[in-house]
Structure 1
Amino acid sequence: MSAAKKKTACVTGGNGYIASALIKMLLEKGYAVKTTVRNPDDMAKNSHLKDLQALGPLEVLRADLDVEGSFDDAVAGCDYAFLVAAPVNMAAEDPEKELIEPAVRATLNVMRSCVKAGTVRRVVLTSSAAGVYIRPELQGDGHVLDEESWSDVEYLRAEKPPLWWAYCVSKVLLEKAARRFAEEHGISLVTVCPVSTVGAAPAPIVSTSVPACLSFLSGDEAGLGALKGIEKTSGAVQLVHVDDLCRAEQFVAEEASAAGRYICCGVNTTVVELARFLAHKYPQYGVETNFAGDQLLEKPRVRLSSAKLVREGFEFRYKNLDEMYDDVVEYGKALGILHY
């Protein structure tokens, strides 16, 4: 593929877990990639980007989600823009001002740059299943949620359930703001809503779902608490492998007929099922499987469906826990989350 013919993609937030994996995959598929980080000189966070430059043309640019026009250079000349970076301030004292408003503002900042560029064929927004599954009226079990489902913002703001209520609100509001903006400016926008993501990626620092999904093996109580919280508020623990997520993002970018939202979920499971599976697969870690008194589910009460994605021609490669966990344990060791 000659340099002139290469498709060019911008991936925001190149030092993030999902973004780093997406950059690697796009380079391997022959794309030229431009990515943004807040501080390109911070090698502790960005050393992997140097390594990825060996795979193909990767340009690393400075940009700040909060600064309008900051992404103009990064998006200029790109065919596709993957919006992966998002403010994540879980410790915010004023979540509305420090997390929710900045998340909406950041999304629209990048989309304004896409309008200015005039070359972007499609914007792929990475949101989250957190914008799909927090719905208190889903009592009992047997529920299956698709892309029509939205987390209940009024409930979240009123009840402020622990575990990222403001994060869930931010995802709903930024998705809806992005959709309005895209309609007003004639942008082709597709949104991907991934669940908790596992698997190895180039990023050397990971603060998201990987530590939580390894918490049974690492003994990380906070991580395990996060998994229990997800199950309690959403009715299951939902997982997708990062490779499937990246392939889904590329799929919806290139598939001309793709439109609207796409849930990206490989497995619906529970804390109890996960513990039993890990205890069996990794006996050396002595995983605790007795959760008496914890009121945990035996089977998912609510399932997230990726039927729309599959119906349109996408195929998941990682469809069970065994496949999902194959490389994440080695990755956990490389990150220092697991010590043996």
Structure 2
Amino acid sequence: MSGQGKVVCVTGASGYIASWIVKLLLLRGYTVKATVRDPKDQKKTDHLLALEGAKERLQLLKANLLEEGSFEHAIDGCEAVFHTASPVTLTVEDPQAELIDPAVKGTINVLKTCTKVSSVKRVIVTSSMATVMFPKSPLGPNDLVDETTFSDPSVCEEEKQWYVLSKILAEDAAWQFAKANNIDLIVMNPGLVIGPVLQPTLNFSVQVVADFINGNNFFNRRYHRLVDVRDVALAHVKGLETPSANGRYIIDAPIVTTNDIEKVLREFVPDLCIAEKSEGIDTNSMTYKVSVEKVKSLGIEFTPTETSLRDTVLSLKEKCLI
């Protein structure tokens, strides 16, 4: 097992992607120091403590994104840090306090601690396709998006896309801080993540599948890109285990239409009907091309979207979430 004897930290460990990262790390033999806001909150921690290897090699530690230094005890003695903790919500009353501060200050707080802990060799930050797909001029069907494409914060501010803005500013702050402080930083940029859930609650991206099951096209668009959480988690782990890994990694899937999604979900909900409508939305907005060659070079083979959808539904049923 490649992780035997190695200690790593995962922040925001009870989250959807983070739980899978913890699961894979434990399976590979790593000792994992996982941060959560409240280690006593069983709803947030039971699924982690139930993972294979957790008894022997998982420690849960309390940390808060906005509290400077609160990650020190978790990062101490680790050779790598996976920073996944960042709020995900589209409805906020105070974007600065609810999204931007925790995302940006939290990232800098974690990176600052990494500069003080000499054992840390590499930091892997979970960003998002949000930091890629909103450049100054809107993407068209012939545009190719790759790791050199960056979203423009002013576009998101104008459109009041606060979650997107929080991810852009946090990733930007991470790159600037890492360059100034000589940190070996890797950033993962996943699209909309679906697949089986380990945690007992619905998270934002899987809620989108639950909405489809209820006949509701949440994004009100025809084209979608849905990437599997297991592929995303594995890309994070490979980002640590591949010495030559560097920079950003786009993790996104080929286009599927609402119609394709409906076909798969009909197996479970025979009378399902989902509208493909895109009133007032540019229907081509998702049809740009995406290069995933870089993440494939880490050895990632993408799970077909229909497999991910099926596994998502089975897992939601099993957890009584639909």
What TM-score do you get using the length of structure 2 for normalisation?
0.91
The one-letter amino acid paired with 1:36 is T
Match among 201, 206, 218 for residue 197 of structure 2: 201
User: Within 5 Å, which residues of 2 pair with 1:207-218?
Assistant: 207-218=203-214
**Across the two proteins, how many residue pairs are aligned to each other?**
320
Equivalent position of 2:311 in the other structure = 327
Aligned to 2:292: 306
Q: Does the 8 Å CA contact 2:139/2:285 hold for their aligned counterparts?
A: no
Q: Tell me, yes or no, if the aligned pair for 1:131 and 1:172 is still in contact at 8 Å.
A: yes
Deviates most, 24-33 or 299-308: 299-308
Q: Secondary structure at the match of 1:327?
A: helix
**1:314 aligned partner, one-letter code:** G
- Contact 1:218 1:337 (8 Å CA) reproduced: no
1:275 equivalent in structure 2 = 262
> For residues 170 and 277 of structure 2, what CA distance do their matches in structure 1 show?
39
Work out the CA distance in 1 between the residues paired with 2:149 and 2:87. 23
Check conservation: 1:48, 1:203, Cα contact below 8 A.
Answer: yes
Contact 2:136 2:151 in 1 (8 A): no
Q: Distance in 2 between matches of 1:45 and 1:139?
A: 38
Structure 1 residue matching 2:50: 3-state secondary structure: helix
Larger displacement relative to structure 2 (56-65 or 45-54) = 45-54
Give per-residue Cα distances to partners, 1:298-328, cap 9 Å, x unaligned: 8952133211112x3423240x222222321
1:332–1:37 CA distance, 2 compared to 1 (3 A): same
Aligned partner (choices 274, 281, 286) of residue 271 of structure 2: 286
Partner SS for 2:249: strand
Q: Percent identity?
A: 34
Which residue of structure 2 lines up, in the alignment, with residue 192 of structure 1? Answer: 188
Q: How far apart, in 1, do the equivalents of 2:82 and 2:32 lie?
A: 10
Larger mean CA deviation between 205-214 and 239-248 belongs to: 205-214
1:46–1:298 Cα change, 3 Å: same
CA distance in structure 1 between the aligned counterparts of 2:164 and 2:284, rounded to whole angstroms: 25
Gaps in structure 2 of 5+ consecutive residues: none
Opposite residue 331 of structure 1, the aligned amino acid is S
The code of the aligned residue for 1:49 comes to L
Residue 239 of structure 1 deviates from its aligned partner by 1.4
Say whether residues 1:106 and 2:106 are aligned partners: yes
SS at the partner of 2:33?
strand
1:178 aligns with 2:174: yes
Query: What do residues 194-227 of structure 1 show as CA deviations (whole Å, max 9, x unaligned)?
Result: 11111113211232211102322134x4xx32x3
Match in the other structure for 1:7: 6
User: Quick one: structure 1 residues 218 and 333, their matched pair in 2 at CA, closer, same or farther if it must change by over 3 Å?
Assistant: farther
Match of 2:235, as an amino acid?
A: A
Identify the residue that residue 42 of structure 1 maps to in structure 2.
Answer: 41
Alignment partners' CA distance in 1, 2:187 and 2:2: 30
Quote the offset at 1:273 in angstroms. 3.1
Does structure 2 conserve the Cα–Cα contact (< 8 Å) formed by 1:211 and 1:337? no
Q: CA, structure 1 residues 182+298, in 2 after alignment: closer, same or farther (shift >3 Å)? A: closer
Residues 258 and 276, structure 2, Cα contact 8 Å, conserved in 1: no
CA contact (8 A) 2:37 2:63 kept: yes
Structure 1 CA distance, aligned partners of 2:23 and 2:120? Answer: 20
Instruction: Name the counterpart of 1:336.
Output: 320
16-25 vs 265-274, greater mean Cα deviation = 265-274
* CA 1:108–1:238: 2 relative to 1, 3 Å: same
In the alignment, the residues of structure 2 paired with residue 250 and residue 268 of structure 1 have an alpha-carbon distance, to the nearest angstrom, of 25
Structure 1, unmatched stretches of 5+, are none
* CA distance in structure 2 between the aligned counterparts of 1:134 and 1:271, rounded to whole angstroms: 22
Looking at structure 1, the residues matched to 133 and 214 of structure 2 have their Cα atoms a distance apart, in angstroms, of 27
* Distance (Å, rounded) in 1 between the aligned partners of 2:197 and 2:97: 31
Paired residues for 1:1-340 under 5 Å: 6-52=5-51, 54-55=53-54, 56-135=56-135, 137-138=137-138, 140-160=140-160, 165-219=161-215, 221=216, 224-225=217-218, 227-228=219-220, 231=221, 236-279=223-266, 281-282=267-268, 284-291=269-276, 294=279, 297=283, 300-310=286-296, 312-318=297-303, 320-338=304-322
Q: Secondary structure of the residue that 1:326 maps to in structure 2? A: helix
How far apart are the structure 1 equivalents of 2:121 and 2:135?
34
* Distance change (3 Å), C-alpha of 1:257 and 1:70: same
d(CA) in 2 for partners of 1:108 and 1:166?
19
Counterparts of 2:280 and 2:273, CA distance in 1: 15
Structure 1 position 8, deviation (Å): 1.2
Deviation at 1:253, TM superposition (A): 1.2
Alignment CA distance shift 1:293-1:77 (3 Å):
closer
Q: Deviations over 1:101-126 (max 9, x none)?
A: 32100001111111111111110000
Mapped partners of 1:151, 1:130: distance in 2: 7
